[in-house]
Structure 1
Amino acid sequence: MRISLMTTCLADVMAPDVARSTVILLERLGHEVVYDPRQTCCGQMHTNTGYYSEAAPVVRHFVDTFERQLDDVDAIVMPSGSCTGCVRDQHRLVAQHEQDEDLEKRAGAVAAKTYELSELLVDVLKTTDVGAYFPHSVTYHPTCHSMRILKVGPRPIKLLRAVEGIEVVNLPESSTCCGFGGTFSVKNSDTSNAMVTDKAANVVRSGAEFVVAGDASCLMNIGGKLARNGDAPRPIHLAQILASTREDPFVPSAEMLGRAS
């Protein structure tokens, strides 16, 4: 398959290894990955905060960029549940708010080909065992958008359980939010801090070496709290685990998501 990668602006700036790992994984599975450098942001930060008019130019640029590829690629992949949720749900809302029927139609066509990474692997590529090797214990945090908007369900867990050498342990109160929510963590910092404090404590309670999720933003938030507390678990994106093999294992570093916070 020919797959277009939308890196997401946060991964591009804060977690480039997530995008690299996505490419490594998909190419190892025999697929061609293409990248359009005109891509910028999906507009999630604006739409989550209710700034639909401000989001409209960002959404139009996103649609313009990826609409050009629709006839040449089989799918668009985003290693982010929250950004994929924005494309599949909120772009339509922005277009409706702007009373732009043409944008709504075009955004719908792009959204129909856009998948979060675990969706792409399980539903489109029909695989759960990607040949990964990760000899560590992990606990999985289902991010809010992936769970409540995309409804990815057990797909990430199925992928994790197929990884050689891994131990997947339960995360207490896994369905609760980590408190990031983009600008929510800035505008409601006390509430956000209370939420991530609980989430980090549950990660520690799990006894896992790593907390894994499909969103770099949530991992950055959780990882930052763990680092400030001096707690041992480290954040890692699903793509990083799935890209790791016996021949080219993932090596944790001090620059992992949130650890420099």
Structure 2
Amino acid sequence: MDATHPLLEVRNLTKEFHLHLVDGRTITPFAGLSFSVPEGSLCMLAGRSGAGKTTILRCIYRTYLTTAGEIWYDSQKFGRIDLATASEEEILQLREREIGFCSQFLKVLPRVPALDVTAEPLLKCGWSRAEALTEASRWLKRLGIEESRWQASPITFSGGEQQRINIARAFIAAPRLLLLDEPTASLDAYSKSIVLDMISEARAAGVTIVAVSHDMAALRPLADTIFNVPEHASLAAVQES
């Protein structure tokens, strides 16, 4: 990688939402945001609730389209690429091989066992099914998911257990760029300590992490940089109205 460029560089990012089902108004959680994340570092996005921190992660992962701005990522597959304008095929390949996302909510197909759900990212990376399931079992053990539950659908799990499955799926394939949205939410103290260890290990292994968390006390010591997301005026007006 060219050392003059960070792994991730966000330039003048703006996102608007049109509330068609309300009264047609437009809200802008953020506008003109710029920040960069060096390779192998952990960047925390800080700011009050509603500032658009999770929306930034979703724009980087491209589950949200940006309204304006650029999101430059130094990929192994395509070189330096703007995630805001990359093709759907390019984004899918990057998600399979290089960019991971851990959301607050687990979305899986019904009746798929937890072990298979956890192993899926490895299968997409070309692992054999036997190897992927073996590795998935190791992660489920570490995160305290009882072996008797591995063949059950995660839909039947508690919120904390589902979050642990989400975390296992995000970490298991060791993506180059990992986006974490409230990774310690819904977790008990013991599970949270395990996840914090996993974040530290991933960072030490060279994974670049962008994280959003209300648990700043736990994650702040792990962060290399903290980017404060300012609250945009148009969103504040909506919240106060």
TM over 0.5: no
The one of the two structures with greater contact order (alpha-carbon pairs below 8 A, sep at least 6) is 2
Structure showing the higher strand proportion among its residues: 2
TM-score, with length taken from structure 2: 0.29
TM-score, with length taken from structure 1: 0.27
Structure showing the higher helix proportion among its residues: 1
